[in-house]
Structure 1
Amino acid sequence: MLPLVVPHSAPHPLPPARPRARRLLTIAVLASLCALGAKDTQAQTIPSPTEDAIPIPGGWFRLSVGTAWTRYDSRFGDSGTIRGLGDEFSTDSLGPRQLPRLAPIEGALKTLTQNAAQRLTFGRLEVRSDARIVTTPIAFEYGITRRLSLGVVVPLVQTRRSAQTRVNQRPTGDTTKTSNVGIMPQSGRATQAALNATFVANLATAAQSLNALLARCARTPAAAECDPIRGRETDAAATARRASDFAGAVATGYGVTEQTAVVAPLTGSALATTIELQRAALAAQLATYVPGTVLGTLPTATTEFSYIDLQGRANTPGLLQSDLGGGVDSIATTERLNFGDIELRARVLLIDRVQRDSLPMHGPQVRLGVGGIVRFATSRPDSAIDLLDIGTGEGAGVEVRSALDVGVGRVGATISGRYARWFARTVTSPLVGYPISGWPFPQFGEVSRKAGNLVGIDVTPRFFASEWLAFEGQFGIEHTDSATFTGADGAPCPACVVLSNSILPTPLTVQRIGFGMRYSTVDAFLRRRARYPIEVSYRHLETITGDATAPKVFRDQIQLRLFYRIRR
């Protein structure tokens, strides 16, 4: 920030003695740490990168403690529209478009119904979600000289993404079901799988018997056993092919093992009715050609697909955790607490044309500082298997920052810029499409991910209500290149396509505005016009425009800076 001071008539007393300063520092630090202990507030990302060029005097130590709360519940869509954060999971028809391992079952249903347009759907899924991230960076900095300072920043990051998941909820009185399949109870899957296997075996035996009969009758058409098919050989051959196809479709769609007997048509649905009509017609045809043929019946799911079926419960995995769902975690509130990426910092004051005597300020005040940051990968990356996971940092990287403070009288401004470049780190990611959010293709592996380079500019105008108190505005623009992924072994699934709701990594540009206030006695203290050097600031920021898929972020942050002289 730019606490360039305004004219003030009477100088303040000289700085206090060291024991009193120590007591003040101890009390302030304890108070700030106690405030940090109240972790009930959930949520934020990275504090505003805007910095001022205020120096750390040579021989002085500066402790900066702050907390930033970032929250968002929506993303920008095309043409500036806003989409809810949960929209990337919500759908009117949950099926293979979201969970592609259901595609073989849908294909089997098309065969069973003889309808190429047949769809598999578990019905409506509605997800409401928001993200909260709380970042608490603790910075220790030391002034080597009047112009050079070094420091280290240790960020603590708490991420929380909440989710309210609703499955097939309808208004009161509406009994229309949008699903046509359901989940078989786990306790009965072994028994039902055995019945399905018997049905498939009976059907396969009937098809084989009919094919054998056709072969014998082709050699000896006058045989008595050929009476049922004589003159209808073409229809009988088609029935045998239909029986073989039907058997394969039942094995795929209904499952013949405890692990695969998971999905079945919903009782009373048009799908269940159609399949039963097809089964009965096929059984009647087979009985005509192969007397005595008995197939059995096919099961139906008696209850509509539900929240428990999707998410699971204690000791009972849901659809998402199963092989059909891709083995992903539930769509449920996810909370993490971890370190961010620890930083080493250096800053050089290049221009310092700020009045340092105790006389009233006069003329323009200018200060320019540049700095460099090295980040270490101490954060926890997110995992694509956890659909709502938020990482606590981008990993190792470097950054260059600059800040220009200018001021005349009661007005001033800070113009700051930053360029950040990250290094690659290993993450668990889908091997098809590399989405950063939404439904991932359920084929996961470890790949090398490099976050996109970032360029940002912030302008912070400032009005000084007094020598120590300033009110601020802020406008910033930030561009981030798309993340890149490398290291996957070949093409794991050349025919696979990215799922429709997946949020893919793309370049993003956002604009933010904000306001704030700052109370700072630092410059006044250096000019011997304040008793204690201390700085407290508050800032609110929000994203006003952004490219499609960029989160619409709201952010509040508070920072406390304390100075203490180590050497004179």
Structure 2
Amino acid sequence: MPPNDLRILTTTRARPRTGGFRLPSAGRAAAVALCLASLPAALSAQAVLGGGDDATVLRRGRARIRIGGILETATERFGGRGGALRQREPIGADASFDSLGVGFLPTFLQPVQDTLRALTGTSGYVASLGQLRSDVRVDVQTIPFLIEYGVLDRLTVSALLPYVRTRSSLNPVFNPTGTEGTLGFNPATALGGSGASTALQRNGLVAQQLTAATTALRALVTTCAAPNPTDPRCTGFSASAANALAAEAAAVQSRIAYVYGTGTSGSGRAFVPIAGTAPQRAVEARLADLSRRFGTYQITSLAATTAPAGATARLGLAGLQTLLSDERFGIAGDSLRGLVRSGSGDIELAGTVQWLDTFHGSEQARLAPRGLQLRSSVTAGYRVGAGSGDFPKYWFDIPTGTGVDAFLFRSATDVVFGRRFWASAIVRVIQPRADQPIVRIPATPDELFVPAAREAQIERTIGRELQLEVNPRVALSDFLSIWGHWQMRSKAADEHRGTFELPAAGGQPAVTIDASVLDVESEAREQRAGLGLSYSTLAAYTRGKASLPLEVSWLYRRTLSGEGGQVLRASATQLMVRAYLRVLGDRTRNVTGVR
């Protein structure tokens, strides 16, 4: 099946370039086209061939080989979250957060947030590791190798063998101003660096002073409850108020021990408030208030300046990479970086039958068409999912293909108007087969950093795809034509099937995860358009004025609009060379074998 020359860029979450083909600029190509258009029209019209897909087949025993390069790049996508038509956002939006909070590491941050709210009496406190901004660029290089062979005069078989190299470049910036976020690594743990013993000693001092103050106050309650107490502090003493203060201090001590750690190395949570931030000052204020209130009972065991050790610094990019890749934090994925992948793309095998040809197979009629002429063919094929798909642990890897087998159908019709103008209308249908990929199932559709515990093998059926394409062409001379390209692509939503039970862990309850959450924003619609030039020696070769029958076509195109959340606003440049060979059949030199 003669494929669409332009790959469809997609991201599954998501998508610099080195090397590649050197192609003429759009401005230079346009200038060449204008100059050639001004040439006198003494030459005969170009053969009814040119850039883009069409309805041609090969005569029996003839072969056609096409090879070239396609360069695609994108930094934005259409649709985004919510999939609004024409709405644009950076590809890196999925990896950009005003605040990395509980939703990022719920097992680690939810208990800390809840405990700090109770400890400081601040019900609105929101735990945050900071702000993340990511710029992402996607580049794809494709070298498609297509070989076609005429089995019969109206039947051509073809095989497409693409080589694909993809690259995602990522520029993450975490806590850019150094003032974002309120939590950092706990200095009392190994994550906090070499000062763990010092931090534990400081935290232990807080616990000792709280214990001493609480013990002294409870002893005073016992003393004042005795008949005729002699302690002057018992005058006007309220046992209920004292017991409430002792209970409050014990609760504060327990919460500080839970968050900061006061015992052996390894106690405490991974994250604590950063020194000097609002939550750390609130903890210090709470202890100072307790010290003042104990002081009303003339108990000075708790110093007013006593406070646990806060984090010494905000997390930087290295710290974030640790959270993403270290198995202790549950995500156990790749670090936040770009990735280069290369290898085979999806392979396509097809057969094309031409059922209508008003040229009646005549080479002369094709070279000098009169009036309105038609040519139409139908194609059936099979796509072998030889390309590699998404890898669950990578955040911005770009697949080299779908990795999914599919049935392919195509109808192509050429309409020829006289000697100068002709156009091709193409309809394609792609029906993927079901597969069983290993994926990570997010809690919400826009969750990017999905924990490894949510990785599972599911049943999936990628949505059917419909493509409509029009390629108009105008012959400028025997050798040159200018052509346009328009395509509308519509893809139905994918279906993901499978439910899995996750046991309770890290204070989080047991949950049931459903793979159908991956269906969201999997449908897509887009329109693409482009302009190109085509150079052909076919007419000259047929007349004996050229030694080789070949075509060279160049095209630049952009995605004009899209919706669905997975449509990249991509630009692409392609350069293709198509050569004709005689394998069997008529040995006449000037017959290209095209019909």
Aligned to 1:532: 548
Pick aligned residue for 1:111 from 111, 118, 124: 118
Aligned to 2:531: 515
| Cα shift at 1:471 | 1.0
| Partner Cα separation in structure 1 for residue 310 and residue 449 of structure 2 | 28
Pick aligned residue for 2:129 from 117, 122, 137: 122
| Cα shift at 1:149 | 1.9
2:478–2:539 contact (8 Å) kept in structure 1 = no
Pick aligned residue for 2:433 from 395, 401, 423: 423
| Partner Cα separation in structure 1 for residue 280 and residue 383 of structure 2 | 58
| Partner Cα separation in structure 2 for residue 538 and residue 404 of structure 1 | 22
| Partner Cα separation in structure 2 for residue 430 and residue 226 of structure 1 | 67
| Partner Cα separation in structure 2 for residue 238 and residue 437 of structure 1 | 44
| Partner Cα separation in structure 2 for residue 136 and residue 379 of structure 1 | 13
Matched, 1:558 2:575: yes
Q: Which moves more between the two structures, 222-231 or 365-374? A: 222-231
| Partner Cα separation in structure 2 for residue 366 and residue 382 of structure 1 | 43
Q: Is the partner of 1:246 in helix, strand or coil?
A: helix
Aligned to 1:278: 286
| Cα shift at 1:75 | 1.7
2:523–2:564 contact (8 Å) kept in structure 1 = no
Cα deviations across residues 126-181 of structure 1 (Å, max 9, x unaligned)?
211111111222223322111212222222221111111122324xxxxx823222
Matched, 1:182 2:199: no
2:330–2:453 contact (8 Å) kept in structure 1 = no
| Cα shift at 1:466 | 1.9
Pick aligned residue for 2:146 from 139, 154, 161: 139
Task: Name the CA shift for 1:567/1:114 in 2 (closer, same or farther; >3 Å).
Answer: same
Cα deviations across residues 371-427 of structure 1 (Å, max 9, x unaligned)?
122122322221343211222222221221121111112111110011112223343
| Cα shift at 1:284 | 6.0
| Partner Cα separation in structure 1 for residue 491 and residue 98 of structure 2 | 33
| Partner Cα separation in structure 1 for residue 95 and residue 511 of structure 2 | 23
1:168–1:306 contact (8 Å) kept in structure 2 = yes
Matched, 1:567 2:567: no
1:358–1:527 contact (8 Å) kept in structure 2 = no
Q: Describe how 1:318-397 pairs up with structure 2 within 5 A.
A: 318=323, 321=326, 323-324=328-329, 326-354=331-359, 356-358=362-364, 360-394=368-402, 395-397=404-406
Given the two structures, how large is their TM-score scaled by the length of structure 1?
0.78
| Cα shift at 1:214 | 11
Q: Describe how 1:133-532 pairs up with structure 2 within 5 A.
A: 133-170=140-177, 177-183=179-185, 184=187, 186-188=192-194, 191=197, 194-195=200-201, 198=204, 232-243=238-249, 245-254=251-260, 258=266, 261-282=269-290, 297-311=307-321, 317-318=322-323, 321=326, 323-324=328-329, 326-354=331-359, 356-358=362-364, 360-394=368-402, 395-409=404-418, 410-433=420-443, 435=445, 438-440=448-450, 443-448=453-458, 449-490=460-501, 504-522=520-538, 531-532=547-548
Given the two structures, how large is their TM-score scaled by the length of structure 2?
0.75
Task: Name the CA shift for 1:122/1:282 in 2 (closer, same or farther; >3 Å).
Answer: same
Q: Is the partner of 1:425 in helix, strand or coil?
A: coil
2:203–2:307 contact (8 Å) kept in structure 1 = no
| Cα shift at 1:358 | 3.1
Q: Is the partner of 2:346 in helix, strand or coil?
A: coil
Task: Name the CA shift for 1:539/1:285 in 2 (closer, same or farther; >3 Å).
Answer: same
Task: Name the CA shift for 1:87/1:392 in 2 (closer, same or farther; >3 Å).
Answer: same
Task: Name the CA shift for 1:504/1:323 in 2 (closer, same or farther; >3 Å).
Answer: farther
Q: Which moves more between the two structures, 230-239 or 418-427? A: 230-239
Matched, 1:65 2:67: yes
The aligned amino acid for 1:275 is V
| Cα shift at 1:540 | 1.6
| Partner Cα separation in structure 2 for residue 408 and residue 225 of structure 1 | 117
The aligned amino acid for 1:161 is S
Q: Is the partner of 2:568 in helix, strand or coil?
A: coil
Task: Name the CA shift for 1:79/1:214 in 2 (closer, same or farther; >3 Å).
Answer: farther
Q: Is the partner of 1:144 in helix, strand or coil?
A: strand
The aligned amino acid for 1:554 is S
Q: Is the partner of 2:114 in helix, strand or coil?
A: helix
The aligned amino acid for 1:363 is G
Q: Is the partner of 1:489 in helix, strand or coil?
A: strand
| Partner Cα separation in structure 1 for residue 454 and residue 548 of structure 2 | 56
Task: Name the CA shift for 1:278/1:39 in 2 (closer, same or farther; >3 Å).
Answer: closer
Q: Which moves more between the two structures, 133-142 or 284-293? A: 284-293
| Cα shift at 1:294 | 6.3
**What root-mean-square deviation, in Å, do the aligned CA atoms of Structure 1 and Structure 2 show?**
4.0
| Cα shift at 1:514 | 1.0
| Partner Cα separation in structure 2 for residue 232 and residue 135 of structure 1 | 82
| Partner Cα separation in structure 1 for residue 121 and residue 471 of structure 2 | 67
When the two structures are aligned, how many residues end up with a matched partner?
514
Q: Which moves more between the two structures, 154-163 or 133-142? A: 133-142
| Cα shift at 1:204 | 9.4
Task: Name the CA shift for 1:503/1:345 in 2 (closer, same or farther; >3 Å).
Answer: closer
Cα deviations across residues 269-299 of structure 1 (Å, max 9, x unaligned)?
1221111111333466578889686697411
| Cα shift at 1:188 | 2.9
Cα deviations across residues 192-251 of structure 1 (Å, max 9, x unaligned)?
685588479759967996999799899x76597999899544434444554454355435
| Partner Cα separation in structure 2 for residue 204 and residue 294 of structure 1 | 6
The aligned amino acid for 2:350 is R
Specify every segment of 5 or more residues in structure 2 that has no aligned partner in the other structure, as ranges.
Answer: 3-16, 22-50, 504-508, 586-595
| Partner Cα separation in structure 1 for residue 198 and residue 494 of structure 2 | 47
The aligned amino acid for 2:57 is P
Q: Which moves more between the two structures, 349-358 or 206-215? A: 206-215
